[in-house]
Structure 1
Amino acid sequence: MAEARRRGPVLDRPTWIAARRQTAAVGRRGRKWIAPEGNLYATLVFAPDCSAAQAALYSFVASYSLYATLLAYVDSPATIALKWPNDVLVGGGKVAGILLESDGTAGQVTRLAVGIGVNLNHAPDPAGLEPGALPPARVAGSGDPIDPLEFLAFLAEHFAVQARFFRTHGFGPLRGAWLDRAARLGDTITARLPGEDVTGRFETVDMNGCLVLQTARGSRSIAAADVFFQERRCP
């Protein structure tokens, strides 16, 4: 992402920037994590020429593109799930995260950087996770290691297709496809906002990309939050 900020102003076409490893990796809210060689660390920089609200929806383009890419690497497609707002899960564990950064003027985004990290061959130590966070997972099983650049080639192709479809048809079809693969849809979850936790039934994602929870006080639309799942109990 730092390299994307540096190079962004002079790039004249959509460009992927990848690192074999990172020494100062950060995620949402400036959180740090360990980024060893063997996983995917990549950022797409491009000019979306759209509003800030529209640009934010590219997180759904990215997560659905990751889903489509993972189908070639995961034995059981049903274990892949999309977690609002920007994570991808396999077998209930987090394998990928997405981070958006943008620049613009007068309400229009002139540069968007879509950062994507995928635990291909290594999963970080769960000891440093905050309470309630999902455990990390990796894509590779007991077979051969996954080549990050090969994975990126497939991901870039899927992203280009999904982005073109999104620009042509709008958010509606993508939203429907995303919801079909949404983690814990219909379950009770907790959205952690600054200074407030909101718990309710995960009802949907609206046409603005906001999480909609049905709470004891009625429906609540949430634009940004960290989401935590409640432990499922066996019958």
Structure 2
Amino acid sequence: MDTSASQRATPRNVITRASCPSTQDIVRDEALAGAPAGTICVTDHQTAGRGRRGRTWSDPPGKALMFSYLARPTRALAELSSLSLVVGIAVAESLPLPTQLRWPNDLVVAGGKVAGILVELVTPATGPPFAIIGIGINANLTRDELPPTDRLPATSLLVEGGVEIDRIALLESLAGRLDAALALFDSEGLPAFLARYAALDGLVGHSLTLRLPTGELAGTATGIDSSGCLVLALADGSTQSFAAGEVERVLD
């Protein structure tokens, strides 16, 4: 990525790195030093990128859009677990291809994972909590460059759309959408996003297996509730909401 162009594109605090272990760590350090909300670190390559549950995020240099965004939300700490859903909506609405959300943090195009989100909440010794939002988008990876995955097959915007993506333009567009989404979340909370999430929900109506700390549970997704929990219809006719878990298999 042309870092000078990236700095020109977005009038905010943008930190650029040709390569780094993780943009999450850089933004965390900036946040602890007092950086303002909306601060971004973007890189062409991460050597120790990470995802949920300790997974790694691998990328060929110069092909993906990888950045971290500093949020300083004002809502109660208990509400911040739904941030990944709000961010997912902003990302999905920024991408040039029809995109679905797969609770809680995957974005899917044509059945393949095209992007992922990692939200890390930090509660410093002094001051309010803040969130580091990591976003990785498979922008211009060829089919041969797609990483192996243990769940969803990977894809890219290039593979599915057939044209290269201007990563700087996508970053600029997405940063603006994140600003707007997080401002709305601060003022109105998750309920302001439920209709938008429902329109993008890639699980609703599908039978799936959810991995929980106590084992696996099968059910049919009916959507999310007002707190952002995944709601499953179970075989006994009951419904149950889940605040955490891993969608292992989508069966139909």
TM-score (norm 2): 0.81
Report what 2:111 is aligned to.
Answer: 92
Partner Cα separation in structure 2 for residue 16 and residue 98 of structure 1: 15
Alpha-carbon displacement from aligned partner over 1:18-67 (angstroms, at most 9, x marks no partner): 11111111111111131222211111113213322222222122111111
Report what 1:26 is aligned to.
Answer: 50
1:108-119 to 2 correspondences below 5 Å: 110-119=129-138
Could you list the structure 1 runs, at least 4 aligned residues long, displaced by more than 6 angstroms after superposition: none
Q: Would you say 1:138 and 2:163 are equivalent positions?
A: no
Partner Cα separation in structure 2 for residue 13 and residue 2 of structure 1: 16
| Preserved CA contact (<8 Å) 2:203 2:223 | no
* Percentage of matched positions with identical amino acids: 31
Shift of 1:195: 3.9
Report what 1:63 is aligned to.
Answer: 88
Alpha-carbon displacement from aligned partner over 1:177-216 (angstroms, at most 9, x marks no partner): 1012100201111111234111101012111111111112
Look up the SS of the partner of 2:94 in the other structure. Answer: helix
Shift of 1:105: 6.4
Partner Cα separation in structure 2 for residue 7 and residue 196 of structure 1: 39
Look up the SS of the partner of 2:205 in the other structure. Answer: coil
Q: Would you say 1:7 and 2:25 are equivalent positions?
A: no
Partner Cα separation in structure 1 for residue 54 and residue 250 of structure 2: 25
Alpha-carbon displacement from aligned partner over 1:84-109 (angstroms, at most 9, x marks no partner): 00111111111010011112269x95
Look up the SS of the partner of 1:57 in the other structure. Answer: helix
Partner Cα separation in structure 1 for residue 90 and residue 200 of structure 2: 12
RMSD, aligned CA: 2.0
Look up the SS of the partner of 2:157 in the other structure. Answer: coil
| Preserved CA contact (<8 Å) 1:20 1:40 | yes
Partner Cα separation in structure 2 for residue 51 and residue 172 of structure 1: 14
Shift of 1:113: 0.5
Letter in 1 for 2:81: A
Which structure carries more strand by proportion?
A: 1
